[in-house]
């Protein structure tokens, strides 16, 4: 399935970086490979090390993965609603409050990674079933108009952003 990159009027300016990242390669290929890429990147991390914050203002590896899972859910929910023709405005989410109240450091890293793979699998099933008409549909999220097509790219770019952060900040690769 070929999903072309969205035009800049299909998403809010805040998401430009995510869309640009995802537009560098086949978005569907990237969506499929990201769970295994994340799992491979974090292979060998102990639960203790994955629970440690590199600095007080930074999240731990587990919190980053938990945030990726939250983003997968939130962006997937937006995609579901808008693709089904529900254009009700959806609020933004406070990622810091989500992380603070999720207690990701008490969850095994393996379980967080398995959760991401399951969430992504469900989102891929939904995305593969989209029609051209559904990809063009729009709704309001975080006070911005966003198309379903753009959400596909945002989902991919969001994870890619955090993969890069994990490599550079947490794993120094």
How big is the CA angle at 69 (ends 68 and 74), to the nearest 5 degrees?
95
Domain presence at residue 63:
yes
**Domain extent at residue 59:** 14-170
The bridge status of strand 138-141 relative to strand 144-147 is antiparallel
Residue 88: give its domain's CATH number: 1.20.120.450
Residue 142 CA from chain centroid, whole number: 16
Domain presence at residue 34:
yes
Domain presence at residue 7:
no
Residue 172 confidence (pLDDT): 81
Question: Tens of pLDDT along the chain (173 residues)?
Answer: 789 999 999 999 999 999 999 999 999 999 999 999 999 999 999 999 999 999 999 999 999 999 999 999 999 999 999 999 998 999 999 999 999 999 999 999 999 999 999 999 999 999 999 999 999 999 999 999 999 999 999 999 999 999 999 999 999 86
Domain presence at residue 5:
no
Verdict on whether the full-model pTM lies above 0.75? yes
Domain presence at residue 22:
yes
- Split into its structural domains, the chain has a count of 1
């Amino acid at each position: 399935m070929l999903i072309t990159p969205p035009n800049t009027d299909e998403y809010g300016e805040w998401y430009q970086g995510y869309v640009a990242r995802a537009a560098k390669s086949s978005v569907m290929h990237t969506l499929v490979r990201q769970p295994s890429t994340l799992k491979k990147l974090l292979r060998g991390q102990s639960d203790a090390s994955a629970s440690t914050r590199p600095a007080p203002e930074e999240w731990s590896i587990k919190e980053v993965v938990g945030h990726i899972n939250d983003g997968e859910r939130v962006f997937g929910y937006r995609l579901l609603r808008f693709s089904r023709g529900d254009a009700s405005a959806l609020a933004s989410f406070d990622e810091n409050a989500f992380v603070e109240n999720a207690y990701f450091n008490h969850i095994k890293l393996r379980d967080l990674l398995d959760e991401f793979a399951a969430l992504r699998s469900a989102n891929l099933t939904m995305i593969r079933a989209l029609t051209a008409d559904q990809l063009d549909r729009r709704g309001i999220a975080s006070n911005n108009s966003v198309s379903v097509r753009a959400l596909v790219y945002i989902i991919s770019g969001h994870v890619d952003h955090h993969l890069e952060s994990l490599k550079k900040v947490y794993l120094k690769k």
